[in-house]
């Protein structure tokens, strides 16, 4: 306990500093309102490379990115007013299990899931076709 002057009345009063705690402001803010899950630069590069290829093929026309508390979602659309054709999701809670990355179609079916985004995105690779003349 220390005696500190009370400036309002010119008196001394006792103050107990034994319960003082230093708190890291960043940790406090994250515990109160955790940051949303986001795609990192390399992840977005891989996704946007596929997106650009599909736009060039005329299959996709629009996209949306959602950064939610539990996952990040990249949705692709044929037309912007419709349901997404595909969702590319990153869910860190599944990283130790099935893998954090998944591709989900318009019906909610998981087409591919895994630990490596590039492997999961191979679901969009076109199969080679034999053309007879």
Per-residue pLDDT of the chain (133 residues; tens, 9 = 90+): 555 555 455 555 555 556 677 777 777 666 667 788 999 999 999 999 999 999 998 889 999 999 999 999 999 998 867 889 999 999 999 988 989 999 999 999 999 999 999 999 999 987 544 556 5
In a domain, 103, yes or no: yes
Cβ atoms of 76 and 86 within 8 Å: the answer is: yes
Give me the number of domains the chain comprises.
1
In a domain, 82, yes or no: yes
Residue 47 domain boundaries: 39-126
In a domain, 9, yes or no: no
In a domain, 14, yes or no: no
56 membership: H or E segment, kind and range: helix 41-56
């Amino acid at each position: 306990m220390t005696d500190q002057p009370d400036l309002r009345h010119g008196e001394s009063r006792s103050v107990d500093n034994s319960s003082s705690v230093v708190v890291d402001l960043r940790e406090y803010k994250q515990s109160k309102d955790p940051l949303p899950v986001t795609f990192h630069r390399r992840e977005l590069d891989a996704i946007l490379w596929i997106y650009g290829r599909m736009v060039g093929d005329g299959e996709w026309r629009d996209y949306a990115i959602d950064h939610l508390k539990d996952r990040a979602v990249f949705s692709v659309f044929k037309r912007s007013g419709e349901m997404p054709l595909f969702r590319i999701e990153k869910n860190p809670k599944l990283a130790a299990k099935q893998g954090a990355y998944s591709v989900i179609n318009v019906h909610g079916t998981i087409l591919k899931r895994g630990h490596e985004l590039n492997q999961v995105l191979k679901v969009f690779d076109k199969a080679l076709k034999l053309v007879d003349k």
